[in-house]
Every structure is written in structure tokens, then in C-alpha cells.
Chains A and B, each alone.
Chain A
Amino acid sequence: MAIDAHAPPPIATGPAAWLRKHFFATWYDTIFSLVFAILIYLALKAFIGWAFVDAIWRVENKDLCTHDAGACWAVIESRGRLILFGLYPYEEQWRSTLACLAVIVTIALSCLPSFWSIRRLPILWVAGFTTFVLLMRGGFAGLELVTSEQWGGLSLTIFIFSGVFVIGMPLAVLFALARRSSLPVIAKSFGFFIDIVRSLPLLTLLFAAAVVVPLLVPDWLQGNKLMRVVIAFAIFFAAYQAEIIRAGLQSTSQGQEEAAVALGMPYWSLVIDILLPQAFRNTLPSTINQAVITFKETSIVTIIGFFEVMASGNAAIGTGEWGNQYVEVYVFLALIYFVFVFGLSRYGAWLETRMRLGHA
């Protein structure tokens, strides 16, 4: 007996069909849609009411910020400089702003494909970082000397982030190459070291650098606490980034390496001209992801006593007079991190799609 052919399923188009497909496909979808619509409405209403409608933007007297209905953004106006600049001298804060801009421009430029070369990127970053340090520190051309003990707020966060990146990236390349080395002793030792660092919490390494290292190295090698912490952070970053680079190195075909050796290219030329450009290009999304994680983790240094943006935010509400505006300050801090992190991770996602389509 022949089976009757079914008619083709109706192809519904138009707004009604679209609505049905996306919101009311089944009876439980309808329930979920209604419940979530109500929840979204209530959440948005509460948030917009708190943050905008009922909010107080400016006050003559801080005692006016007592009603509970809305946010009191006046705290940001009053404490914003403390949060952004920490204890940096008031008249010199324009330098701190310029220094941060220098690093932000560096980050933005390194997102442009025309800067993606193994020689341009390091030069760009070293230049950006040096500009930052010179502007922040001063002590030349009539600029007043401001030592790193007085750095704070967002500029300290940016200093730690860019310092970790500038020191950590070459270390990561070194670690990755050493772990792939054909000399078994070196490959094994670096493998062991990388695995140990990766299994420790960042905080323990930073703590060791701040507190324990002074006991273990001679005085002339100690440097200041900030420097030690940045170096320890850079080693931590390098241990993770090295594994990413190693994955990138492994994804280049063995034939290219053999061809270079057969042509008599020296090892460093093989690494710089053939292996690293491809390794970095293949792992760009993971590298950006690692940068994002590192930026968020700079907030950890607040625990070991540095006055970066997280700590200065806490200080802004710790004095008592603005003690009840903690939600506003934390939301402001979250926004600062969000802008950097969300921007970078969107860029990473865009790159990933671009690479999947074969453009990069």
C-alpha cells in the first residue's frame, strides 16, 4: 500500500508568524514569555526609577541625600576625582588623565590590523607605556615629581594592566618557546613551573611578592612593592598566555618549520618571521580574552594594599559622610570596568567571526 504523500508544511511569513515563532510557539512558551515580560518590565521600571527619575544629580548640601527612592549621583561629583585619581596631587591630575589616554590610544591602535606585526606591536606598547610612566612620574621639563606611592585610582589600575602586558607578553613568548624546546631538561622545567603557577591563586603570588620576596632577595634587588607586584602579576599572566601561544605554535604546520630549517634560516628568524606571527594570529581571540581577564583581575591588588580604582571606590564611601551611597559608587565602578571589558570582549567576538570567515 502506498503511503499518501503529506502536503508540504505551510510556510508562514509576516509579523504574526514571527511573533508566534519567537514568543508563543507552544503553550509553555506563552507562559514564559508573559512571565519574563512582566519581570523585565518590573526590573526596568525599578532601575530607571532609581537611577534616573527619582535620582538626585546635584546637591548643595550632602545631608539632602537622605531619601531612599532614588540614587544620589552627587556622590560621584563629590568623590569622582578621588575614585579616578586616588591621592595624585590635585593640580597635576591633568597628567594622570593624559597618561591614561596614552594607554587607551595604545590599546585602540593595537586593535587595528595595520599594527599587527611582530615589530610594530612591541614598539607601540613600549612607547605607550613609557609615555604613561613619564607623564605620571614627571620630574623633568618642569613637571613636578610624583612617586608611585602617590599614584592611585583608575590610573593605577591602568598602570598595573599595561605593565603586566608589557612585561608579561615577552615572558609568555619565552615560556612557550622554552616549553616546546627540544632540550628535555628545559622543556620539563618550564612545563613544571608553568603548571605550578597556573594552579595557584593570583592573590597568593601577589602576596608572596609583596611580603615574602623582601626576605629572600638581597636588598639591592628588591625594588619597590608596586614593581614586585607587577612583576609577579606579569609572571602569572605569562603562565596563562604561554599556553595560549603554545596552542598557536602547535597549530602551524610542521612543514613550515622544516622548510625554514632546510633553507638554513637561523632559529630566531624562524621564530620571529614564521612561527610567532601565525601563532598570534591564530590565537587572537583567546589572547584578547586573557587581556580581559587580566584587566578584571587587577582589582585583586586592592587586597594587598594598593589604592587602585576598586580601593579608591571603597575609600570614597568609607568616610561616613557618603557611607549610604555605596550602591551608587559600586555601580559607577562597575560601569568603569564594564566599558573596558565589554568593549574588548565585543572586539574579540567580532575578530573571531571575521577569522571564521577567513579574513584575518
Chain B
Amino acid sequence: MSQIFASQKFRRIAVQGGFILGVVALIASTILVGKSNIADQGMATGFGFLEQTTGWPVNFSIIEVTGRSTYARVLWAGLLNTMLVGFLTLIFATVLGLLLALMRVSSNTLMKLVGASYVEVFRNVPVILQVFFWYAILTHLPSPKQAYTLGEAFYLSNRGIMMPAPALSGSDMAWLLVSVILAVVFLGLTRERLRLGPRWAIATGAVFIVFVVVLLTGREPDSALISTPQLKGLRFVGGITLKPEFTALLVGLTLFGASYIGEIIRGGLLSVDRGKLEAGRALGFSTFQINRLIRIPLAFRAMLPSLTNQYIWLMKGTTVGIAVGYPDYFAIVSTSINQSGQTMELLALLMGGFILINYSIGFLMNMLNDRIKLKGRS
């Protein structure tokens, strides 16, 4: 008896030991072959290249990047680009998805029909095709001279969408960002002391005051408060420009993501037990109260896990931006690999960046989940 036990135990150890040895051997041989191949091609190794200048331009960035910027800065710009388009997509797709879900659970047959057709059309076509489509539409618009305009303030041309923007400098933006972060911290800290209404009023009011103050003080005297786009020669100056690459990626991902998010929210709303809603009605709650106090909180709990997965998927989906020339993190890394030849290092940075972003989303959503889950009973 003990012999059999011993032999089974031995087999378990042998199999696992063999597995570890195999994995180690695989990794070691990969490294050895890789090293010799890289040495044969005369390529450098190590992370020293991050300090070197790139020598190539980046066509879209929210921080200043030129051909003389270092690799580290350009990669950072790429990561910011990915997060910019990713988070905007999440916000817009969630709002649109919520509308679609409400349309599909309503009792109005026409609204149901429109919601269902939208979901079937946009969900069943690959996102990259949708991004290509919007990009083609945007780049086939008329040139700036013949641009469509709305009240001489908004312009639509093949260079992008131009619109007025508050004239804020970089330092103004930084102050604004700090005030937004402080407002979020304030919202978090006063959660148990104040009701929802006053908390939001104080937070948004404070941010608005900071916005007005920086807008009034941070400028050169006599310049306009709002910068509007104006045609100068063959291009527009002033205001902000949403380039076709950025817009196509944002619109494509948002419309595609909304169809999935709408289905998740609809599933959540339908998962709420009818008895609870009927109980609310029996207690004399209005439809609005039933939705706000019973249906939405319960639905939110049910759909949060799938919503997290979908958010992570959309974040990863931003990589299709390279197809239309939007310099997201993946596009920047792939150009860097072509230009510097530091394949292994850059690939590690690429995977590290995405794992970081995705784990942060997962972490935030789990925090949210912990806060809203039913406490003390299950």
C-alpha cells in the first residue's frame, strides 16, 4: 500500500520536474538562439536606446513630440494616445450602449426594432472594416477651401473636424487636470458624510471655477477667450482639430463597442427578478423610482463582470488604429522596431504596456464591484 502511494507520489514529482526542466530548456534555447541571431545581424541589446533620439515624426500626440525626442518620450506619447482613444471609446460606447439597451427593453415596438437592427448590423461586421469605412468617408470629404461649415465655427474637411475650443495653454490644462483629480478625491473622501447631490454640486462647481479662473488669467491680454478655427491659405489655424485617423478610430470603435455594451446592459436589465419590480410597484413606487432604486442597482451588479471584459477588449481593440495610421502604442512600438532593431526590448515594453493598462482596468472595475456588491448577505 505504502509502496503504491510512494510510487504515485514519485510519478507526480517526476512529471512536474520534467515539465519545469522542459520549460527552462525551451526558454534557455530561445534566448541562446535569439542572442546568436541578434549578434549575427549586428544589432544592439539592452534598454540604452530609450535615451536616443528617434529621428522620425509622430503625426498625432497630446504631448509635444518631434524628430529629436527620445524613444522613451515617443513611446510614452504612444501609450497616452492609446489611453486617450481607449477611454473616450469606453465613455461614448457606454452612453450609446445604455441608450440602445433602454430602447430594446422598452415596450415601444419601433424603438425595439431600431435598437435590434443597430446591434445586428454593427456587431456582425469586423471592427477594422468599420474603421476603414469611416476613414474613407472622412478622407473623401472636400478640401479645407470647400469645407462644410456650421455657423463658421465648425468645419468638416478632409483634414479633419475643426471646432472652437477654449484658449488654454499647457499649464492651464495642467491646473485643470489637478483640479479634476482633487475633485475626484473629494468625491471619494466625502462619500459617507454628504449626500450625492451636494457632493457633485461642490465638486463640479469647484472644477468650473478653476476653469474660469485659468481661462481668464492664463492668457495674453486681448486675445480671444475662445479660439475658433479659421482658414489661412490651404489649412485651418486655431480651435482644435480632430484628425481623420483619430476620428475614424474613435467612431469605429465606439459604434462597434456600443453594440456589445448595449447587449450586456440589456442582459443585466432583463436579469432583474420581476418579483422585485412588482414589489416596488405594489409599494407605490413610481416607474422612475423603480428604475433608479431597484432595477438599475441590481442590473449593474449583474452586468459588471461582462462589462469589465468588454472594456478590456475595447482597450485591446485600439490596436487596429495602425491600419489607418493612428499612432497608438502598438504603432509606435512597431515603427520603433523597424527603426532601431531593438526587437526583444520593444516587444517586452509592448506587452508590458498592455498588461499594465488591462490590469488597471480590471483593478478599478473590481474595486467598483467590491463597493456595490450586496454586503452581509448573499
Contact = CB atoms under 8 A, between A and B. Distances in A.
Interface of A: 21-23, 25, 29, 32-33, 36-37, 39-40, 183-186, 189, 196, 199-204, 207-208, 211-212, 215-218, 296-297, 299-300, 302-303, 310, 314, 317, 324, 326-327, 330, 333-334, 337-338, 341-342, 345
A299 B108 contact: no
B24 to A, nearest CB: 11
A43 to B, nearest CB: 9
A297 B124 contact: no
Given A22-B108, A216-B33, 7 more contacts: A200-B316, A212-B347, A216-B30, A302-B323, A333-B129, A338-B121, A342-B120
B15 interface: yes
A183 to B, nearest CB: 5
B354 A200 contact: yes
Nearest to A344: B124
Contact of A199 (B120, B317, B337, B359): B359
B349 to A, nearest CB: 11
A200 B347 CA distance: 12
Given A32-B108, A196-B355, A212-B343, A204 B125 contact: no
Given A199-B354, A342-B120, A185 B20 contact: yes
B129 A189 contact: no
B327 to A, nearest CB: 14
A25 B358 contact: no
B320 A37 contact: no
B85 to A, nearest CB: 13
A217 B129 contact: no
A36 B33 contact: no
A302 B125 contact: no
A189 B343 contact: no
Contact of B107 (A25, A39, A185, A189): A25
Interface in B117-140: 120-121, 124-129, 132-133, 136-137, 140
Contacts of B126: 296-297, 299, 310, 337
A218 B35 CA distance: 11
B108 A201 contact: no
A22 B108 CA distance: 5
Contacts of B180: none
A99 to B, nearest CB: 22
Contacts of A39: 114
6 contacts: A40-B114, A185-B16, A199-B359, A201-B354, A218-B33, A338-B125
B133 A37 contact: no
Nearest to A193: B23
B146 interface: no
A186 B317 CA distance: 31
A299 B256 CA distance: 15
B319 A203 contact: yes
A302 B121 CA distance: 22
A212 B317 CA distance: 21
Contacts of A299: 126, 128-129
A207 B33 contact: no
A22 B124 contact: no
Contacts of B317: 201
Interface string B1-30: 000000000001001100110010000001
A201 B316 contact: yes
B12 A36 contact: no
B330 A201 contact: yes
Contacts of B34: 215-216
A300 B16 CA distance: 37
Given A303-B323, A334-B129, A32 B111 contact: yes
A326 B140 contact: yes
A189 B18 CA distance: 13
B272 interface: no
B37 interface: yes
Contacts of A342: 120, 124
Contacts of A327: 133, 136-137
B23 A303 contact: no
Contacts of B350: 204
A186 B347 contact: no
A337 B317 CA distance: 18
